[in-house]
Structure 1
Amino acid sequence: MTYPQRMLLENLAWAEEIFRQDTHYFYRLTQTQQPKVLWIGCSDSRVPVENITGARPGEIFVHRNIANLVAAEDENLASVLEYAIVVLRVQHIIVCGHHCCGGVGAALRPPVAGIPRVNRRIEKIRTLSRAHAWELSGLADLDARTDRLAELSVAAQVRHLQEMPLVRDAPTPIQLHGWIFSMGRGRLEPVTPSVWSNDAQRADALCAVA
């Protein structure tokens, strides 16, 4: 049996179990979605959003990319933000990075041949690492530097969100959160204060973290 075949069987078992528990569950899913949260996370397969938060289908609107980056020129991210803010009217946006992040770790090493798009994508993290070179150089090893840079990057991405007109001028203020997933402990932890999209003091609050 191939892995995709196993996935189909697992889905069948899941759907049947849900239907036994609640015969109207899937009908309700077809009607609408009203998530309160937009989650911007990493594509890493070890950070499944619903699993680590206990969320069910329909509760979290999700965008994932390598190293959970927020860039104004990223049309994919911009379209997700636009839909989440204008149509779904989410109340919270969470940027969640994670320890042991391959994209962040790669930004601390020379570019790797054969993955030019990835190298270009993580260049922003390389720039961030240079800005924090003094702090990072004082850490014990590459793993510690990677984990700290992942935290610093989360704070930077929240700042980028606040600078985007789409977020800043949202119809209703949105609370922004920066979290890290500690993979070794399975815990989600805040790495920035929760701030509002229209908060005039937003830069001061986040610069204190990163």
Structure 2
Amino acid sequence: MDSLKPLLTNNRTWAQENKTQDPDFFSRLSAGQSPQYLWIGCCDSRVPAEMLTGAQPGDLLVHRNVANMVLHDDTNCLSVLQFAVEALKIKHIVVAGHYDCGGVKAALNGGVSGKLGCWLHHLEDIYQQHKAQFDLLTDEEERINLLCELNVAHQVVNVANTTTVRKAWQNHFPLTIHGCIYDIGDGLLKEIGVSVNGPDAIPAQFQSADHG
């Protein structure tokens, strides 16, 4: 049995439907891209950026990894960021976390080894930095959700501290970084109140060493 058959069948159906509804759909896409947003999200299969935002092909430039992190030594993410800002002139960057994040839960529980353990160590640092807030909570779900939100806030600041973003602001390029959280339980995306549009707007309480 061809394990890719369902995906290929769905692709052909999707392509045909788009051609039927809009004969010029793919010719426009092939002419180039000018997305309005860079979406930095989690790779969780339940959080499809385009679907939950109602975006169409060409609307979002998307980068996803475990727990939606932006680290100073992650060449992949930093390359996407540079491409988005310098080549595509994207003016809005969305860092989107989600509740019930497996990476966040693993970091809180500990015991993860290998490359994933090294990656999640950054979440453990965030937990330690805000430990006083966690000590006030006894409900495990509340603790997980708090770390999900704090992680988004820290990653917004990490984006703001990158060389690419700092250079853009120095050149007076209008660029805003937005922090959002998605609730898988009800399908709603909301802002967490951390939005940065310049170096003077970076909240000090979310500063960390993870920028580049």
- Does residue 111 of structure 2 align to residue 119 of structure 1? no
Q: 1:145 aligns with which of 143, 146, 151?
A: 143
Partner of 2:101: 101
Q: Give, in whole Å, the separation in 1 of the partners of 2:63 and 2:141.
A: 26
Question: 2:34 is matched by which residue type in structure 1?
Answer: Q
> C-alpha deviations, 1:3-46, integer Å up to 9, x for none?
52101101111110100001010011100100010000001000
Question: Structure 1 unaligned runs (5+)?
Answer: none
User: More relative contact order in 1 or in 2 (CA 8 Å, sep 6+)?
Assistant: 2
Partner of 1:183: 184
Q: Give, in whole Å, the separation in 2 of the partners of 1:104 and 1:23.
A: 44
Kept in 1, the 8 Å contact 2:156–2:195? The answer is no
Q: What SS does structure 2 have at the residue aligned with 1:79?
A: helix
CA RMSD of aligned residues (A): 1.6
Seen in structure 2, the aligned counterparts of structure 1 residues 191 and 32 have a Cα distance that, compared at 3 Å, is: same
Partner of 1:88: 88
Query: How far apart are 1:75 and its partner, in Å?
Result: 0.4
Alignment of 1:159-170 (within 5 A): 159-170=157-168
TM-score of the pair, normalised by structure 1: 0.92
Query: How far apart are 1:64 and its partner, in Å?
Result: 0.4
Seen in structure 2, the aligned counterparts of structure 1 residues 169 and 45 have a Cα distance that, compared at 3 Å, is: same
Query: How far apart are 1:162 and its partner, in Å?
Result: 1.1
Seen in structure 2, the aligned counterparts of structure 1 residues 205 and 126 have a Cα distance that, compared at 3 Å, is: closer
Kept in 2, the 8 Å contact 1:162–1:168? The answer is yes
Q: Give, in whole Å, the separation in 1 of the partners of 2:79 and 2:46.
A: 25
Partner of 2:67: 67
Identity of aligned residues (%): 39
Question: Structure 2 unaligned runs (5+)?
Answer: 208-212
Q: Give, in whole Å, the separation in 1 of the partners of 2:44 and 2:25.
A: 29
TM-score of the pair, normalised by structure 2: 0.91
State the number of aligned residues. 204
